[in-house]
Structure 1
Amino acid sequence: MIINKLLINLLILQEDVTGPKDKEGEIDINPTSIIEKLDKWLDSFIKALPNILIGIAILIAFVFISRWVGNLVKKMLKNKGRKNFGDLLGSFTRYLVMIGGIALALTIMAPNLSPADLIAGMGVSSVAIGFAFQDILQNWLAGILILLRQPFEIGDQIIVNNYEGTVEKIKTRATIITTYDGKRVVIPNNTVYNTSVVVKTAHEFIRSQYDIGLGYDENYLEAMKILKETVQKIDGVTSEKPVETLVWDQADSWLTIRVRWWTKSDRASVVHVWSDVIHDTQQAMNEAGIDLPFPTQVEVHNAHDLKEARDDKEREINIHKETKSKKASENNKNEGEE
């Protein structure tokens, strides 16, 4: 009996300590367990609080460090005349340092999180981001290669993808050019990098040419001399490179003379000198009395029957002769009467 009473007391005591037993079909609410869990979380937070504060401090420090490093890169490249590339590389360096600071702060805040876990997570996420933003990443990498290799610079006049204009900016995603009529064109860097680009201002001078037709009965050697001297006197035609006049073609109605000259490579110089060349060479030819013929067109009537055409021509000639004979006879008759 005594042993049975001891066992019953132990069971009652265990029930008081562990709480009431779960009942099937009912929602058990145990305030004691909830408070215990909250207490454990609070204890864990208090224990981790120093690490969290240190991690936040490191994160704030890396914000300022990343800005300083980015500005330093920009300043160094700007002093070397690579301002646009400095802006791009400085921003990239800033974000790279910031990512490193975030990774370091996370490992301090959560000691269970190892750098290997972060790298593995970043690897998986980078693959997913790469597929999702493939075009953006391609344009970004192409922009870096363009700025690094410098096939053209800001201010150059280029032709790319059937667009011609002046390079205004080279950004991370696209190259911006302004056409000669004032339109802004945004071309993806991937397109610029993978297509042919004509850089018209790559060199100081550029050559232009113009064809002039001379009549076959004109002294073409004298005309070539006049053309060369006229073009050499035009303002904007450089004297560092020769002016050339070449016999270029024998057309139906004229002998083609090609005139070549060199000017500054920018669009404004080319266009204005071109206008002066046409104006001054036309005036020089007129003053020298040299004929610049128009195209000649020959019309053949009754071409379907050559014999009929010849007969018609002979008939016209005979009628013309008879008319002249009649007029001559009448004139002789009038002179005889007088």
Structure 2
Amino acid sequence: MENFNVELGLLWKKLETWGEYAVLMLPNLLLAILLLIITFKLAGLIRGWLEKFMNRFSHSAALNNLILTLLYIGMLLVGFFIVLNVLNLDRVVVSMLAGVGIVGLALGFAFQDIAANFVSGVIIALRRPFRVGDLIETNDYRGVIQRITLRTIDIRQLTGEEVHLPNKTVFENPLTNFSVYGTRRVDLEVGVSYAEDLEHVQQVVTEALEDVKNRIKEKEIEVMYDAFGDSSINFKARYWITYKKEIDYVSAKSDGIIRIKKAFDANDILIPFPIRTLDFGIKGGEKLTEQLEHLTASMKNGKPLGGNGQAGYE
């Protein structure tokens, strides 16, 4: 019974000590609550002001949201640490900072790919090598950009499929942007007969391509011969077009082919077929008709054929 009274007395003294400390800390507690409310209000106001300011200079919504969120969290952390300091919890602050460092290091090793995609997304948002709506080709994928996030680039391929490419993959590999300049060159490969007047062919092709779809009039049409083919002399017809979508390029190329074909037909210019020579193994100047006569006679007489496909003779 005596031990119980002693323990009860110690507990009561402890509660009295806590009560006295709570009374002493009450002004600090009220001040801490007030500082916490001010921190949230001030962080919200600063975020709203910065959002209006950043929208004037940056058109990347993802990057703007990232920066604003980081600043907002940073301001809240500063206010939270000040509140802990007011409550005389300095040791808690030091412990929390150490814990945040250890947790951050562990997460960095565990989520390396996610971090790499995130950093690549930030760099892409800053450099802006492409925009939503651009036609790009990268990592064997070709399509129109639908969305740009801080983790992936989402493109819709020309055949309709949607592909989500990690930012790290896009950032580290070559990329072709077909839409960046708004123009594109069409190259047509054509062959004409060796008997044609090549200068006349150049003139005919140039005139035929003058009014091709979407052609940029300020840039000249180029018709240049580049090879002696097996059955034709080959040339390339090149012209520039305005380019917004892939259909612009496909239509202009198709229109150019149609116009060249019509011009060739109107001027009796020949696009030769490939020539193939068949070797029947005829030797010694013997004609094919003579070979066929020997073969027919041999089959009628029932004589076997020689090893070279000719009738056997005694």
TM-score by length of 2: 0.80
Q: Is 1:296 paired with 2:278?
A: no
Give CA deviations for 1:295-328 in whole Å, capped at 9, x if unaligned.
22222123xxx537x4353725999xxxxxxxxx
Q: Is 1:311 paired with 2:289?
A: no
Kindly provide the amino acid, as one letter, of the partner of residue 307 in structure 1. Answer: K
Where 1:311 maps in the other structure, the secondary structure is: coil
Query: Which segments of 5 or more consecutive residues in structure 1 lack a partner in the other structure?
Result: 1-14, 22-29, 320-338
Give CA deviations for 1:66-120 in whole Å, capped at 9, x if unaligned.
3333333332232235243323322332233233333333333453336554433
Aligned residues: 292
Residue number among 187, 199, 218 corresponding to 1:209 in the alignment: 187
Kindly provide the amino acid, as one letter, of the partner of residue 239 in structure 2. Answer: W
Structure 1 residues 105-124: aligned runs within 5 Å:
105-113=83-91, 116-124=94-102
Give CA deviations for 1:28-57 in whole Å, capped at 9, x if unaligned.
xx6565555555555545544544444344
Residues 179, 110 of structure 1: CA spacing in aligned structure 2 closer, same or farther, 3 A cutoff?
A: farther
The equivalent of 1:280 in structure 2 is 259
Residues 227, 150 of structure 1: CA spacing in aligned structure 2 closer, same or farther, 3 A cutoff?
A: same
On the 8 A contact 2:84/2:90 being kept in 1, the answer is no
In 2, the alpha carbon distance for the partners of 1:136 and 1:49 equals: 45
Q: Which has the higher relative contact order, 1 or 2, with Cα contacts under 8 A spaced 6 or more apart?
A: 2
Residues 185, 20 of structure 1: CA spacing in aligned structure 2 closer, same or farther, 3 A cutoff?
A: same
The equivalent of 1:100 in structure 2 is 78
Q: How large is the Cα RMSD of the aligned pairs?
A: 2.9
Q: How many percent identity over aligned positions?
A: 24
The equivalent of 1:68 in structure 2 is 45
Tell me by how many angstroms 1:141 deviates. 1.3
Tell me by how many angstroms 1:247 deviates. 0.1
Kindly provide the amino acid, as one letter, of the partner of residue 269 in structure 2. Answer: I
Kindly provide the amino acid, as one letter, of the partner of residue 131 in structure 1. Answer: F
Structure 1 residues 63-212: aligned runs within 5 Å:
63-84=40-61, 85-113=63-91, 116-212=94-190
Residues 205, 46 of structure 1: CA spacing in aligned structure 2 closer, same or farther, 3 A cutoff?
A: same
Residue number among 10, 17, 36 corresponding to 1:59 in the alignment: 36
Kindly provide the amino acid, as one letter, of the partner of residue 291 in structure 1. Answer: L
In 2, the alpha carbon distance for the partners of 1:49 and 1:216 equals: 103
Where 1:221 maps in the other structure, the secondary structure is: helix
On the 8 A contact 2:120/2:171 being kept in 1, the answer is yes
On the 8 A contact 1:236/1:264 being kept in 2, the answer is yes
In 2, the alpha carbon distance for the partners of 1:69 and 1:167 equals: 33
In 2, the alpha carbon distance for the partners of 1:301 and 1:45 equals: 113
Residues 316, 95 of structure 1: CA spacing in aligned structure 2 closer, same or farther, 3 A cutoff?
A: same
Kindly provide the amino acid, as one letter, of the partner of residue 41 in structure 2. Answer: F
Structure whose residues are more often helix by fraction: 1
Question: Bigger radius of gyration, 1 or 2?
Answer: 1
In 2, the alpha carbon distance for the partners of 1:59 and 1:138 equals: 35
TM-score by length of 1: 0.75
